[in-house]
Copies of this chain bind each other. A is one copy, B any other.
Amino acid sequence: MKQMEEMILREGKVLPGDILKVGSFLNQNINTELLAQTGAEIARLYEGCGVNKILTIEASGIAIAAAVGLAMGVPVLFAKKHRTSNVDGDVYVTEVHSFTHGADYGVVVSKDYLLPSDRVLLVDDFLANGNALRGLIDLCDQAGATLVGVAIAIEKCFAGAGDELRAQGVRIESLAMIESMSEHEIVFRS
């Protein structure tokens, strides 16, 4: 999506360690004009696919998932990191390794909210090493739900996980696909 690429070029900052900082518009201070465009574009890409649930992971995926859910008119479920006292005992759990925080964490979703009859669209802000995404796919598998596809705001193609998952048959739509990046240049896949 042109607007996402333009915003990355205008406001994104590449930091050491392959970090792309997009806090000014995507995942901390959220530009709601871009958010509305993002929701509408993802809804268009998955129109007619029978999606009846959006699944994301807290925290930075939630705003995008909410915009997609509002655009498609379907509920948005978010998987939680850690177990909190107001999640009932009956949950699906998966382990995810976070490079940002350098630790493993549990990701849980209540069995009441993810059902075998669900046709699920996974939504997140970033796809890089794919760990969080594989965790969400595992939660869908545990529930016996159907994975319709994945929608990502920004994919770091150079990290490889997106193409690996595509080769395994997973449909992934990324609104901006970064082939390479440095402090001086960001190159998108055309």
Contacts and interface: CB of A to CB of B under 8 A. Distances in A.
Interface string A27-64: 01111110110000000000000000000001100110
Copies in the complex: 2
- Interface majority SS on A: helix, strand, loop or mixed? mixed
Nearest to A53: B29
Interface string A67-87: 101101111111010001111
A188 interface: no
A62 B70 CA distance: 14
A110 interface: yes
B35 A113 contact: no
A70 to B, nearest CB: 5
A68 to B, nearest CB: 9
A80 B28 CA distance: 8
Interface stretch (A2-10, A16-24, A171-179): A16-24
A120 interface: no
Interface residues of A, number: 40
Given A59-B58, A78-B59, A85-B100, A66 B23 contact: no
A88 B75 CA distance: 34
Contact of A15 (B63, B67, B86): B86
A35 B101 CA distance: 31
B63 A84 contact: no
A156 to B, nearest CB: 14
B23 A87 contact: yes
B86 A19 contact: yes
Contacts of A59: 58-59, 62, 78, 80
Closest 8 CB pairs of A and B: A58-B59, A29-B113, A63-B66, A59-B59, A32-B69, A62-B62, A30-B76, A66-B66
18 contacts: A19-B86, A21-B88, A23-B112, A24-B113, A28-B77, A28-B87, A29-B110, A29-B113, A32-B66, A32-B74, A35-B76, A58-B58, A58-B62, A59-B59, A59-B62, A63-B65, A67-B70, A70-B70
